[in-house]
Amino acid sequence: MIAKSKKMQSPGQRFTHSKAIEDTHRMGHGNSRQDCSSGDSADGSKPSRIRRLGRRLRLHSRRSSASHSQTTKILKEEDFAGIALIRIISAEMKFKDKWLACITLGEQAFRTHVSDQTDKPTWNSEKKLLLEKHGAHLARISVFETNRLSRNNLIGYCEVDLLEFLSQDCSSDTEVFDLLDPSSASTIVGRISISCCIEDPVETEKTFVRRILSIVDCNEDGELSLDEFSDLIDAFGNKLAAEKKEEIFKQADRNGDGVVSLDELATLLAIQNEKEPIINCCPVCGEVLEVSDGLNNMIHMTLCFDEGTGNQVMTGGFLTDKEASSGWMFKLSEWAHFSTFDIGLRSGSSASHILVYDRRKKRLVEEIIDRKIVLSMRAIYQSKFGLGLMDNGAKEILRSLSEKQGKKMDSAESAKEIPNFIEFFKDQINMDEVKYPLEQFKTFNEFFIRELKPGARPIAFVERDDIAVCAADCRLMAFNSVADSIRCWIKGRKFSIQGLLNEMCSREFVNGALVIFRLAPQDYHRFHFPVSGTIEKFLELPGCLYTVNPIAVNSKYCNVFTENKRVVSIISTEHFGKVAFVAIGATMVGSINFSKKEGDYVRKGDEFGYFSFGGSTVICVFEKDSIRIDEDLLENSGRSLETLVSVGMQLGVSVKKQDNVKLPNLRNLSL
């Protein structure tokens, strides 16, 4: 929560609203005077400048608006924390290069321009961001060297809690942050200067009015004539107001000099907003505005106007910093539809980049995966040709390959691969959490099944057995029913709870909730109990070793979860009834190992076992009407978006009715 307000130092500067980003972020905004003085229309009358501006801003860029536009969210007044202006000023690096910086907040990413060849890049690039008290407020600043064709190399990053930064009681809005090495958070690779201030509400209103006035003020005298004022009313999309232009103009012209000044226009909009708002649609993006929702309208239009003073403004329209930092080879492949960044099911070009939502940091991140592997998986799992290969012996090849790779990763020679593995996943493996030093791992598999330091994964509400927790460090999908999972995620034609659990399936599981924990190779590969209870039994089911990557799970040509090798266990609990815990092997997974046995009583968060080298998955099936899964997990899953979670994070709360058995009153008993 913000403890104080800071007045924005440069109110007349250039900003972009998130919903208009897709249509504007790569289009140069020409001088509005040129637009005003450009040629006449076909009938000899001068076209409306505001209409032409709107048409220009609404032109589609190379991305469709559907791929990057965020779901419109109505913000409540109690959740509004302010509109922040963040500026990335400069950095000090340890070597010379051409640098760019990116900022990521929530599901938005922005980038600066590329600096000159230097070890002290200067950008002075800024962006205006909406802050919510309970929304994303941990911004990540990433610095990339730009000497690569296809992608730029991440050198350092820092994370800034904007709400905390803004609440500091200091005389300066500027602060210097250490840039951390992605491979090791304890190593500093540079420093970066950032300023951030929150806009005063009064200044917001003045800035908004200046934007409006500047668009229709053709002669730039700071005042609106009746013709200019009429253009403005037309752009607001209010038909009733358009019929009463002269009447409204006279109301605005309080001193009767025949023109409307900045102050008079601000007064008019403030008064009309209280009585009968005259703004029905945004003049820039054309979005229809809710007349009764003054707060969200103010936020929308404040961020949407992009006719600024020409200062450096960060380029937007990106989902992650990796996308924002991509080189021209990636842009070419995206233009040719060979690859794309998108949220949702993995098919076609959208399978090239896997985006997940980081629950703790409340932002999108891209899962790191070798591009050659992506292409091979698309060829195998998303085509009839690939399905034919599976039917003609490829399943056995995968099994043989996994066995050979498992043996290789158990050899002493495999330890040489550990540094390369860490470097490849340098932004997604935190070595500071690992229990033992790197030199203690004698084989690659020893490192792969590494343990973490005590306390590295705190368990939510550890004393409450009616609260379930996440079973693994993973990408999670959660559904209230199998039908929801099939609609949003699992596209195999034969998926069912009966097929997944085999003879362990009971009637209560058939319509129960389903939670999928997908472990990628870079993850901590030990899995834990999501609930407290007693292990009733195990059932090992032989099968294939398909990959559990979303490219395969989203494919209609194979049935990953019901055909792969897996072990089903049943946990009997007090608060959730019976819970089915399914450990599923995958390509390169040599074995599934358990540290508990039948009859053991376990507590949630206890270690249950581990997977050897490769990606793998755990699925938990709950009895019908036994758990209320956390809303944020269900919401992301409904968007076909995996949520990045850690062991011990809250998963859901028991809603199963407890048996209330009354004890007899011993005083009333007689023999």
- Under 8 Å between Cβ of 627 and 513: yes
Cα(510)–Cα(276) distance, rounded to whole angstroms? 54
What is the tally of helices (H) and strands (E) in the chain?
24, 28
DSSP letter assigned to residue 649: -
Helix (H, G, I), strand (E, B), or coil: what is residue 76? coil
Measuring CA to CA, which residue among 28, 9, 2, 22 is closest to residue 86?
9
Provide the b/e sequence for 382-412 (b: ≥16 CB within 10 Å).
beeebbeebeeebbeebeeebeebbebbbee
Measuring CA to CA, which residue among 333, 366, 251, 300 is closest to residue 73?
300
- Under 8 Å between Cβ of 467 and 654: yes
DSSP 5-19: ----S--S-----TT
DSSP 473-538: SEEEEEESSHHHHHHHT---TT--HHHHHGGG--HHHHTS-EEEEEEPTTS--EEE-SS-EEEEEE
User: Catalytic residue among 68, 137, 528, 575, which?
Assistant: 528
Cα(668)–Cα(662) distance, rounded to whole angstroms? 14
Cα(340)–Cα(362) distance, rounded to whole angstroms? 22
Is 217 tagged catalytic?
Answer: no
User: Catalytic residue among 97, 234, 306, 473, which?
Assistant: 473
User: Catalytic residue among 18, 616, 626, 646, which?
Assistant: 616
- Under 8 Å between Cβ of 567 and 608: no
Is 325 tagged catalytic?
Answer: no
Angle at 637 between CA 506 and CA 652, to 5 degrees: 60
Is 616 tagged catalytic?
Answer: yes
Cα(234)–Cα(248) distance, rounded to whole angstroms? 13
The residue behind tokens 């009839």 is 384
Active site positions, annotated: 473, 528, 616
